Amino acid sequence: MPAVAAYNITHRYGSVTALDDVSVTVNDGELFGFIGPDGAGKTTLFRIAATLMIPSEGRMTILGLDTVKDYRELRNHIGYMPGKFSLYNDLTVEENLNFYATIFGTTVKENYRLIEPIYKQIEPFKKRFAGRLSGGMKQKLALSCALIHKPRILILDEPTTGVDAVSRTEFWEMLAGLKSEGITIIVSTPYMDEALRCNRIALIQSGKILGIDTPQKIRDSYSQKLYAVRHAEKYKLLLALRSVLSSPDRENPAPGSMLHAPRPLPLATSAEPFGDSVHITLPPGTAPGDIISALSAAGLPGATITETTPGVEDVFLELMKREMS
Amino acid sequence: MTDQKVIEVEKLVKKFGSFVANDNLTFDVCKGEIFGFLGANGAGKTTAIRILCGLSRPTSGKVLVAGIDAARNPEEIKKRIGYMSQRFSLYEDLTVTENIELYGGIYGMRMKEISTRTADLLNRLDFQQYGNTLIRSLPLGLRQKLAFAVAVFHDPDIVFLDEPTSGVDPITRRQFWEMIWETAARGITVFVTTHYMDEAEYCDRVTIMNEGKIVALDTPAALRANYGTDSIEELFVKITRPKTAAV
Amino acid sequence: MKRFMAFVRKEFLHIFRDYRTLIILFGLPAMQILIFGYAVRTDLTNAGIAVLDNAHDEVSAEIIGKLEASEFFEIKFHLTSYDGIDEAFKQGKIKEVVIFPENFGARLTREGNATVSIIADGSEPNTASLVTGYTTAILNDYSSTLTRQLTSAIPVINPEVKMYFNPNLESHFMFVPGVITLILILVSALMTSVTIVREKEFGTMEVLLVSPLKPWQIIIGKVAPYFFLSLVNVIVILLMAWFVFGLPVRGSVALLIAECMLYILLGLAIGILVSSSVDKMENAIFISFLTLMLPSLLLSGFIFPIENMPKIYDYVSMILPPRWFVEIIRTVMIKGGGLAVIWKETLILVVMTLFFMALSARKFKVRLGEGTK
């Protein structure tokens, strides 16, 4: 029995479709990530999972229970952490934790072992008002509050958004630690790099699922060879590459112009900035060396090109473009 | 990027009571440069930016923005800069055109100039159909792009962007950065803060702030070489982790 | 200058696109004009009075006839003894009693000087002053007509005015009940709606809903402190009224407290209803003020007597809880009336409370709504 199973979930807010025929299964004990930007539908999906909303169409089961019909029973087994953490700002760290323990019919003592590695980092601040904690501390407190009643499944909605890079890393380490307890965890995040920390991921954009698999298989699904081109002048490089890849005459590329709408490259080619390089795919029949010479001719000598492994974001971009066309 | 300096900061200190938010900051920014400002929340970035925008006065130190002394003439600075923040950019209950015209008017552009430029802007962004749409009906990605275009509408010397691409989808993010590049190529200096470490690479130079001080300032490539890391993210964690007392 | 104008234009757009500012700018003045224009009448029409004619002579009969004929008054009772007076006042049916002593007419014609007792309902000081003023005017008018007929000394009718319930016609007799009404509904409705909506705004409501806490536990838990504190409020006000103004509670204190509890419950139910309809605290406050405070202040009979308003305001005020509660408080506190007198008003409040409770129970969602984002 899967821990989470969504069957053709569609949800609308008035005329806006937030989720479009979403189907997904999550296995027991998995750390499953939903990766997508704002507005992708992650929060809507998670609210349906947390029994807070009834989907316009479709159904979802969690731990074998229906989220609509069996919501009362289900709420005992779910640990939910909504976006923006939802802590009581005018209660202390301690008071927040005690409150959540009590309304779930347990005590902090009873399940302390479970939250210990997380809570002990903020314990020195236990008398501080939750509103005065830093983002990273709020995160830890919210997670502790969600865990304190030993749920069988954790639903975490964008727990790393708006938090600094260091805390984000630490948070994922905490989640990894929880897996050994056999708790199923579903997490949503807009940060593509966090995808690698999950057992499996679903890429989601504009209410649609673009792909579901392990991060590795997702990366492997990239349809072509990917190359990274580097040059000191990043912008000119980007423009020149677009020009080179789209013009039939590679020897004399046309100079780039202001680009505000995606300039249509022929199918199966792409040029996207990625940090210090531009990731490109080559049109059939073009060798890497051709690109370098074309760039030289365009006034950018000294560029380098290396084959590179596609990342989750590369795949996301590819799938997004495919979906949009 | 030229050699002409548009921002000169020397030993900038800003105190709130006894709390030192900015501790002896020193840096310059050149015309047409894309300058990245990284740091955890509470490191002092926002305070420094407010001073550069003329919203707050330095406690001590020299701050020249577009040649204007920030301590003496902060009001003058405001006329020469543009600003776009993550929390707020455009008025949700006004249409696209109304927002553009509003900001054009506020920055003292003439009506004729405003209308020609507005048409031009809508064309370039492929937004003609959205001219009379309320901002709140636009998806996030479009909003951000429009907000940026509005921030540079009046051709400021410098534009300040506060986490402009937060939460935006990968395609829009890249389109946004292309807009930034294109703007910088036109000679407008861009001052940007971000939490996306890979975006740090898109900048000409990057500075990292921690606990009120500048702990790193150089081109992304040089920084990586210096700290022996493969990415800015690694570098960031390396620099800030041991010092982070507030976990 | 241009910058300035651009900014001003934007402000106009904001104003016209926000329903709240529109209501404040246009709705409120209109409402106030209507209310002040019509509700505040310093003239009297058809005020109920009683007469006790111990003289049974021509003179008294003529004066009573004049009172009857005037548009200001409507004689509801022709009393035969002093017994009925207290009850008649308590029931609120009459605003004053005009008492003619024995030998009134004789004394007037022979001695040129006679007294008429006027007892007015002092629990509504404004009305009392008006009513006695008009009565006195009619008496004086009558005596001036007499003067033309007689050639000797000018006869004078002395009105002896007493304020029942409120001997010194102190205004705080009017204000304290009104203040209690206002504060109770404001605190219970306004504060309740705000506290529930605050959870919604901060997102903590989601987590509460997903917990084993049952919805009724959440609501009652939120509302209980306000119930208790409102009661404390009432007691403090009553104590202050007693010690500072010397305002007593003439009726049963237990009854008064019980009625207050009922009223607080009603306010809480309204507050819960409001909270399930809005998502932001500022909207909760806005709606509470608009629908509760203003009508309470102006249409409940607290300041402006309802009898003086056009019939339509009377009907409108019937759906406002404060109107009934002001009546109850005045009767119990100042007139000393018991449940027998105010059972009708109490029943109305009970029905309203049950209605709002049922409505808010239905509206309070166990889940987040469709429109939530």
* Position C82 pLDDT exceeds 50: yes
Instruction: Give the percent of chain A with pLDDT over 70.
Output: 93
Q: Given this model, what pLDDT does residue C318 score?
A: 85
Q: Closest CB to C211: pick one of A75, A88, A89.
A: A75
Q: A-chain residues within 8 Å CB-CB of C370?
A: 13-14
In sequence order, the 6+-apart residues with CB closer than 8 A to the CB of A309 are A219, A226
Per-residue pLDDT reduced to its tens digit, A265-315? 665 688 999 988 999 998 888 888 888 988 888 888 889 999 999 999 999
Per-residue pLDDT reduced to its tens digit, A85-125? 788 888 899 999 998 898 888 889 999 998 998 998 899 99
Q: B-chain residues within 8 Å CB-CB of C3?
A: 105-108
- How many angstroms separate the CA of residue B62 from the nearest CA in chain C? 30
Q: Name the band, by pLDDT with cuts 50, 70 and 90, for residue C367.
A: low
Which one-letter DSSP state was computed for residue A253?
P
Closest by CA position to C207, among listed A73, A71, A67, A142: A142
Residue of C198, C211, C279 to mutate when probing chain A, most A C-beta within 10 A: C211
Q: Which helix (H) or strand (E) holds A244?
A: helix A234-246
In sequence order, the 6+-apart residues with CB closer than 8 A to the CB of B67 are B6
Closest by CA position to A181, among listed A67, A88, A74, A79: A79
Q: Given this model, what pLDDT does residue C262 score?
A: 93
Q: Given this model, what pLDDT does residue A12 score?
A: 93
> CB–CB of B167 and A137 under 8 A?
no
Q: Closest CB to C14: pick one of B93, B106, B108.
A: B93
Q: Name the band, by pLDDT with cuts 50, 70 and 90, for residue A259.
A: very low
Q: What is the pLDDT along chain B (247 residues), one digit of tens a residue?
A: 678 899 999 999 999 988 899 999 999 999 999 999 988 777 888 889 889 988 888 999 999 999 999 889 888 888 889 988 876 678 888 899 999 988 888 888 888 989 999 998 888 888 888 888 998 888 888 888 899 999 999 999 999 998 888 888 898 899 999 999 999 999 999 999 987 888 899 999 999 988 889 999 999 999 999 988 888 888 888 887 654 433 3
Least confident of A260-269, B101-110, C42-51: A260-269
In sequence order, the 6+-apart residues with CB closer than 8 A to the CB of A10 are A17, A19, A20, A21, A22, A55, A56, A57, A58
Per-residue pLDDT reduced to its tens digit, C224-271? 888 888 888 888 888 888 888 788 888 888 899 999 999 999 999 999
Residue-averaged pLDDT of chain C? 83
Give the residue carrying structure tokens 């300058």.
Answer: B35
Q: C-chain residues within 8 Å CB-CB of A104?
A: 211-212
Closest Cα in chain B to A138: B247
Q: Closest CB to B201: pick one of A135, A205, A276.
A: A276
> CB–CB of C207 and A82 under 8 A?
yes
Residue of B88, B96, B102 to mutate when probing chain C, most C C-beta within 10 A: B102
* Position C45 pLDDT exceeds 80: no
- How many angstroms separate the CA of residue A18 from the nearest CA in chain B? 12
- How many angstroms separate the CA of residue A15 from the nearest CA in chain B? 11
Residue of A235, A263, A280 to mutate when probing chain B, most B C-beta within 10 A: A235
Per-residue pLDDT reduced to its tens digit, A142-155? 999 999 999 999 99
Q: Given this model, what pLDDT does residue C41 score?
A: 63
Give the residue carrying structure tokens 């000294």.
Answer: A302
**How close are the terminal C-alpha atoms of chain B, in Å?**
39
Q: Given this model, what pLDDT does residue B143 score?
A: 87
Q: Given this model, what pLDDT does residue A128 score?
A: 92
Q: Given this model, what pLDDT does residue C148 score?
A: 62
Residue of C208, C367, C373 to mutate when probing chain A, most A C-beta within 10 A: C367
Q: Given this model, what pLDDT does residue C371 score?
A: 38
| Mean pLDDT, residues C44-52 | 85
- How many angstroms separate the CA of residue B55 from the nearest CA in chain C? 19
Q: Given this model, what pLDDT does residue A266 score?
A: 64
| Rg from Cα positions in chain C | 26
The burial of B107, by beta-carbon neighbours within 10 Å (0-12 exposed, 13-18 middle, 19 or more buried), is given as buried
Residue-averaged pLDDT of chain B? 87
Q: How crowded is residue B153: how many other Cβ atoms within 10 Å of its Cβ? A: 20
| Mean pLDDT, residues C321-336 | 86
* Position C345 pLDDT exceeds 70: yes
Enumerate neighbours of C (3 or more CB pairs within 8 A).
A, B
Q: Given this model, what pLDDT does residue C152 score?
A: 60
- How many angstroms separate the CA of residue B111 from the nearest CA in chain C? 9
> CB–CB of A86 and C368 under 8 A?
no
Q: Given this model, what pLDDT does residue A223 score?
A: 86
Beta strands of A50-149 (E only): which ranges? 57-62, 65-66, 78-81
* Cα B147 to Cα C62: distance, rounded to the nearest angstrom: 85
Q: Given this model, what pLDDT does residue A44 score?
A: 94
* Cα B12 to Cα A164: distance, rounded to the nearest angstrom: 25
> CB–CB of C5 and B104 under 8 A?
no
Q: Are strands B34-39 and B205-210 parallel, antiparallel or unpaired?
A: parallel
* Position A185 pLDDT exceeds 80: yes
In sequence order, the 6+-apart residues with CB closer than 8 A to the CB of B143 are B89, B90, B135
Q: C-chain residues within 8 Å CB-CB of B98?
A: 10, 13
Give the residue carrying structure tokens 């920014």.
Answer: B29
Query: Which residue(s) pair with A26 in the sheet?
Result: A4
Largest CA distance in chain C: 93
Q: Given this model, what pLDDT does residue B242 score?
A: 59
- How many angstroms separate the CA of residue A150 from the nearest CA in chain C? 13
* Cα B124 to Cα A260: distance, rounded to the nearest angstrom: 6
Q: C-chain residues within 8 Å CB-CB of B113?
A: none
Q: Closest CB to B105: pick one of C5, C13, C18.
A: C5
Which one-letter DSSP state was computed for residue B95?
B
Query: Token pair for residue C227?
Result: 């119930």
Query: Which residue(s) pair with C53 in the sheet?
Result: C100
Query: Token pair for residue B242?
Result: 């041991």
Q: Name the band, by pLDDT with cuts 50, 70 and 90, for residue C297.
A: confident
Query: Which residue(s) pair with A185 in the sheet?
Result: A31, A154
Complex ipTM? 0.84
* Position A176 pLDDT exceeds 50: yes
Q: Given this model, what pLDDT does residue C247 score?
A: 80
Q: Closest CB to A272: pick one of B145, B174, B232.
A: B174
Q: Closest CB to A38: pick one of B41, B140, B236.
A: B140
Q: B-chain residues within 8 Å CB-CB of C5?
A: 105
* Cα C281 to Cα C274: distance, rounded to the nearest angstrom: 11
Closest Cα in chain C to B110: C2
Enumerate neighbours of B (3 or more CB pairs within 8 A).
A, C
Residue-averaged pLDDT of chain A? 88
> CB–CB of A321 and B171 under 8 A?
yes
In sequence order, the 6+-apart residues with CB closer than 8 A to the CB of A6 are A22, A23, A24, A25, A45, A48, A49, A58, A59, A60
Per-residue pLDDT reduced to its tens digit, C154-213? 678 888 888 888 777 777 777 788 888 888 888 888 888 888 888 888 778 888 888 888
Q: Does C220 touch chain A (CB under 8 A)?
A: no
> CB–CB of B247 and A316 under 8 A?
no
Give the residue carrying structure tokens 């200001």.
Answer: C72
Q: Given this model, what pLDDT does residue A10 score?
A: 96
Q: Given this model, what pLDDT does residue A248 score?
A: 56
> CB–CB of B198 and A37 under 8 A?
no
Query: Token pair for residue B85?
Result: 């923040």
Q: Given this model, what pLDDT does residue A261 score?
A: 36
* Cα C372 to Cα C358: distance, rounded to the nearest angstrom: 23
Closest Cα in chain A to B1: A233
Enumerate neighbours of A (3 or more CB pairs within 8 A).
B, C
* Position A250 pLDDT exceeds 50: no
